[in-house]
């Protein structure tokens, strides 16, 4: 596969947000083969004319009139001639995910889409819950993050039982209120708006998910940035996180906060 998969997905998602009909038509021609087809549960759309009508109608209904925007979930993967990825429809000004879709795209030798099968991900699906958690985590609102957790949480930390004096938020937690306090304390010790990094990778198996990425923060007291590898193990039941296990480079975090 001689394409940049993430770039391809960004181009795909951008078509659905494009307000200009001429630019939209050009983008469709650059993505789909002339006889390319999109298949949804209730219909199929073949060729550039049908695809243009389909995407224009979706844009008018959801983007122009309802104020939503389509976003890539950052989970694109593929091999040979197949690419699969998740997209979300969210309020353009920020808010909860209104719809999640999963696309399975088959490309021709020229890199253009031959077929595009789109599946709606049911509300409460673990992938949707994890993506919503990551989005709320990036937004930095502790109470909205905690709303995604069950009232009682199995909280697991890869730290010594005694914790570390420079990292006071590392302590036993068991309730939704504890979760909100945890993320509120993290925010108090770091410069707001300076958490960066690439989108984490998410692996799902049944009602469990592994989130692989890194923590990139700037310490408020010193202005020093740091990066620490991190992995999360989440269990989701009835759309809520019931188990939250954190495995991180705790030495880097402790040294950054203590000024070592």
CA-to-CA distance for 51 and 24, rounded, in angstroms? 10
205 φ, ψ to 5°?
Answer: -145, 110
Q: Tokens for 211, please give them.
A: 């989130």
Is 43 within 8 Å of 118 (Cβ atoms)?
A: no
The stretches of the chain forming alpha helices (DSSP H) are 5-17, 21-31, 47-58, 126-139, 142-146, 176-188, 250-258
| One fold for 5-120 and 126-258 | yes
What pLDDT tens digit does each residue of the chain (260 aa) get?
678 899 999 999 999 999 999 999 999 999 999 999 999 988 999 999 999 999 999 999 999 999 999 999 888 999 999 999 999 999 998 877 888 899 999 999 999 999 999 998 876 678 888 988 988 888 888 998 999 999 999 999 877 777 788 888 888 899 999 999 999 999 999 998 766 667 788 988 888 999 999 889 999 988 889 999 999 999 998 889 999 999 988 889 889 988 86
Fold of 126-258: Nuclear Transport Factor 2; Chain: A, (3.10.450)
Is 122 within 8 Å of 140 (Cβ atoms)?
A: no
CATH of 5-120, one of 3.10.20.30, 3.30.230.10, 3.40.50.510, 3.10.450.50: 3.10.450.50
- Verdict on whether the full-model pTM lies above 0.75: no
- Helix, strand, coil in percent for the chain, rounding step 5: 30, 35, 30
Question: Domains of the chain: which residue ranges?
Answer: 5-120, 126-258
Q: At what angle do helices 21-31 and 5-17 cross, to 10 degrees?
A: 150
């Amino acid at each position: 596969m001689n394409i940049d998969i993430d770039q391809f997905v960004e181009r795909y998602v951008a078509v659905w947000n494009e307000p200009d009909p001429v630019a939209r038509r050009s983008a469709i021609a650059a993505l789909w083969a002339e006889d390319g087809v999109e298949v949804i549960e209730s219909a199929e759309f073949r060729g550039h004319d049908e695809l243009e009508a389909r995407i224009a109608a979706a844009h008018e209904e959801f983007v122009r009139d309802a104020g939503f925007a389509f976003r890539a979930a950052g989970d694109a993967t593929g091999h040979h001639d197949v690419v699969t990825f998740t997209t979300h429809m969210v309020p353009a000004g920020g808010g909860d995910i209104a719809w999640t879709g999963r696309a399975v795209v088959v490309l021709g030798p020229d890199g253009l889409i031959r077929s595009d099968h789109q599946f709606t991900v049911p509300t409460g699906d673990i992938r949707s819950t994890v993506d919503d958690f990551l989005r709320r985590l990036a937004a930095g609102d502790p109470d909205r993050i905690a709303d995604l957790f069950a009232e009682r949480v199995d909280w697991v930390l890869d730290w010594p039982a005694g914790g570390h004096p420079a990292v006071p938020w590392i302590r036993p937690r068991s309730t939704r209120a504890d979760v909100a306090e945890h993320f509120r304390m993290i925010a108090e010790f770091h410069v707001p708006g300076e958490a960066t990094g690439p989108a984490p990778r998410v692996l799902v198996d049944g009602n469990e998910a592994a989130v692989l990425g890194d923590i990139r923060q700037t310490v408020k007291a010193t202005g020093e940035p740091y990066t620490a590898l991190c992995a999360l193990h989440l269990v989701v039941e009835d759309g809520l996180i019931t188990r939250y296990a954190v495995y991180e480079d705790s030495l880097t975090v402790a040294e950054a906060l203590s000024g070592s």
